[in-house]
Amino acid sequence: MTKPFYVMEFARFPPIYFLLDPEFTIIAGADFTFVLGRSYEMRSGVVGVGFMSWIHYLAYQRSQCAEMTAFCSRDPKKRSGDWTGIQGNFGPPGEQIEMTGVTGFESLEEMLEDDSIDLIDICLPPSLHPEAIRSSLKAGKHVLCEKPLALDAETAQALADEAEPGQLMVAHILPLMPEFKILVDAKNDQRWGQPVSGRFKRTIGPPDWIPDFYNRDSVGGPLIDLHVHDAHLIRLLFGMPTEAHTVSRKKEGEPMFYESIFEFEDSELAVSAGGGVITSPARPFTHGYEVSFEQATVQFEFAGYADGSSSCIPVTILHADGTIEKPDLGDGDPVSAFLQEVDEVARCIRDGVVSPILDAGLAVDALRICEMQM
């Protein structure tokens, strides 16, 4: 498609030419040329280089209002931009990243000295979150931290208390994924009335690639690592439970597989959640829900299998009048939700507001819900 091209003429001066492009603007005259790059609202420095850092990088590459200008890693190969060793359970494998305009630091302390960085984006193992968050807050930076905020609610609350309102955000991505975003949007705009019940599931195969998965001090086990996604969503949709009734099968003293029923101040809310780890590697991952509103029920489920196959109940809306709707939720690109996430962070920093999705207080409540079930 032809790019927009403009000519401006002024009396006694040669014409000035403008070429406008999403990536840059060229302004040219008889004896000069200026190339102006995109102007970003937020400059980010990423802490740690692994799978989530790679996905965040891809999101920054697409964003029109946020850019990654720095990252830190102790690995000299990664600091040179070679991220080819990164693999994950969704999205493309890592590549050699574009280092133009990007600085690779060896430590967070060095990166915090860069006054041009607005946001510190923490993609470290959960046990390292508190120290990195505190250092970043002390340096006056805004912070986006991967979930969980901490390995226990008490530490998470302390971190939230140390931050100014809106300064600390937590990357709970589920409400931005289209299959789950539809629930949050419906809650907010009341298109089907209030949510009245929900059943949630999230289960993985044996996490053999994480030897300390059940260690409360490093990863936290299935409730803290997995269920915290659904706990955060439950908090957004139904408010804060007052109590949880849980039965579980334990491994190394931590719930391995669990089923929970929640109580709320509104005694007519019927909400449950289950999942954890099964012993078979044949189905590495499954998640889903059935959520009822006053005037509709929404169903979704996905399962991926070790042979590369999958099964899915796409988002299906069962209306009270008996009609069935299967909405088009886009192309299924998993990076799109992370693009919304970094754009939401940029918006909140620009406007000085607290995110209704990423606020640290909600992340604290999600951990409290997990701890109710232990």
Q: CA angle, 111 as apex, 108 and 115 as ends, to 5°? A: 140
pTM: 0.88
Per-residue confidence (pLDDT) for residue 39, from 0 to 100 = 56
Read off the pLDDT of each residue in 149-171 and give the average, rounded to a whole number. Answer: 98
pLDDT in tens, 101-127: 999 999 999 999 999 999 999 999 999
d(CA 9, CA 48) in angstroms, rounded, equals: 51
Q: What's the rounded mean pLDDT across residues 61-76?
A: 96
| Statement: residue 96 has pLDDT above 60 | yes
What distance in Å separates the CA atoms of residue 72 and residue 41, rounded to the nearest whole number? 21
pLDDT at 1 over 90: no
CATH superfamily of 42-171: NAD(P)-binding Rossmann-like Domain (3.40.50.720)
User: What is the pLDDT, as a whole number, of residue 30?
Assistant: 52
Prior bond to 148 cis, omega within 30?
yes
- Spatial distance between the Cα atoms of 177 and 40, rounded to a whole number of angstroms: 24
User: Which pLDDT band, with edges at 50, 70 and 90, does 88 fall under?
Assistant: confident
Going from N- to C-terminal start, the domains of the chain cover 5-37, 42-171, 178-333
Q: Which of 144, 260, 241, 235 is nearest to 183 (CA)?
A: 235
pLDDT tens per residue across span 274-331: 999 999 999 999 999 999 999 999 999 999 999 999 999 999 999 999 999 999 999 8
Show the beta-strand stretches assigned E in 1-128.
5-8, 16-20, 24-28, 33-37, 42-47, 66-72, 103-105, 119-122
367 contacts 148 by C-beta, under 8 angstroms? yes
Q: What is the mean pLDDT of the chain?
A: 91
pLDDT value of position 123? 97
Architecture field, domain 178-333 = 2-Layer Sandwich (3.30)
Average pLDDT over residues 259-268: 98
